[in-house]
Structure 1
């Protein structure tokens, strides 16, 4: 990701290159990009708050 790039208000606060990376990763893994975001959020929550908050 290019850290010199400033975030742009487009509904989500990600840098434009991050959108491209997410789109490419979703294509490679043959998944929808919201599935990747859900998995990343679940991983963050379980690492931060513990395994009791993991989805069942």
Structure 2
């Protein structure tokens, strides 16, 4: 699990796949490791969801 924490520090997150939802613009979930809100950039790639993105 320590390896995944390091990946989160480099913005490489792991979604909780059971709770991914579509917002109309992005797929959004919480990271399994750091529990922050993330969005899907492309298939298999996730990044932190910025505050400005979550408001729209």
- After TM superposition, the score normalised by the length of structure 1 is 0.25
Larger radius of gyration: 1
Tell me which of the two structures has the higher relative contact order, counting C-alpha pairs closer than 8 angstroms and 6 or more residues apart: 2
Structure with more of its chain in helix, by fraction: 1
Structure with more of its chain in strand, by fraction: 2
